[in-house]
Amino acid sequence: MTSMYLANDVVQNSKKKGTEYAKEFGVVMPKAFNHLASINFEEKTIQSLGRLIAIWQERQIFDKKILHEVNRVWDHKKRTGERLPTDTVSPKRRRVSSENANSGPYS
């Protein structure tokens, strides 16, 4: 959870200077939330992460497609207590995400 707050702080504070960090963090957010959905958190943590997603949506921190995917994964977690099977992400989407993840500024 602390890492997500740190990512949130970096992305929101860097937004004033440009969109580079939001783009790079956005590439990994669906995968990060898919991982987080596999962890058995206390209800307070689940709500806190949901609130973080809501803030990102309100402030349009990430691309709408990224936010939609993150929200879809986290909504499933809240409803069922389980993560989505990884095959719910289309193979093309996974391929594009992995290609983008490998082409960041530190590659």
Q: Does the reported pTM lie above 0.75?
A: no
Question: What's the gap between Cα 11 and its chain centre?
Answer: 12
Q: Which of 95, 14, 107, 104 is nearest to 62 (CA)?
A: 14
Q: Which residue has the tokens 């959905």?
A: 37
pLDDT value, residue 90: 47
The 3 state secondary structure assigned to 23-62 is HHHHHHHHHHHHHHCCCCCCHHHHHHHHHHHHHHHHCCCC
Q: What span, in angstroms and rounded, lies between the C-alpha atoms of 21 and 27?
A: 10
Per-residue pLDDT band for 83 (boundaries 50, 70, 90) equals low
Confidence of residue 99 (pLDDT cuts 50, 70, 90): low
Share of residues in the chain with pLDDT > 90 (%): 59
- For 70-79, the pLDDT digits (tens) are 999 998 888 8
